[in-house]
Amino acid sequence: MSLRERWRGRLAGGVALAGAGYVVTLLLDMDPRPLPYAVWSVVVLALAFLVLDIVDVPAAEWQQGTTSSADRVDEATSDLRVLSSHQQADQPSDALARRLVALARGRDPDLGDAVERELADAGRLSPADIDHILTRIEDVRDRS
């Protein structure tokens, strides 16, 4: 059944139902006013048609999202925050060192241990030191 035929049938049925209801209210001496009754009928029929349309719709199902990539793309903002706070702080914390060690361990546990020993006594890391460590970590990924 096409959409036009369905709405034509709904419109005819709604007018017939509203007309029958108006006749019943007249027979019961309720003295309905035509304009408010017509507005009320349109609202009630529209809600009824919406409910009928919703009943046939299958339930929505959640789909699993894509798996996170191994490159931690979504963590770039927090990594940038850690890096900039390390460079700007008077007394830098060990947050950058912990991130670098975790990243190295994710690639190779032995490299993680080596980076952890290397950063154990380091205070503020220079950009060259950070670049050197990241290059070592990337080299391990490229080899595998």
Three-state DSSP state, 72? coil
> Dihedral through CA 14, CA 19, CA 23, CA 26, nearest 10?
100
Residue spans of the domains in the chain: they are 3-55, 75-143
What separation in angstroms does the CA of 44 have from each of 25, 41, 53, 70?
16, 5, 14, 55
Q: Are 100 and 62 a contacting pair, CB within 8 Å?
A: no
**Which range is most confident: 25-29, 69-73, 127-131?**
25-29
> Dihedral through CA 7, CA 9, CA 15, CA 16, nearest 10?
-170
Mean pLDDT of 76-82: 72
Whether the model pTM is above 0.85: no
Q: How far apart are CA 19 and CA 26, in angstroms?
A: 11
* pLDDT tens digits, 22-54: 999 999 999 999 999 999 999 999 999 899 888
Mean pLDDT of 61-68: 70
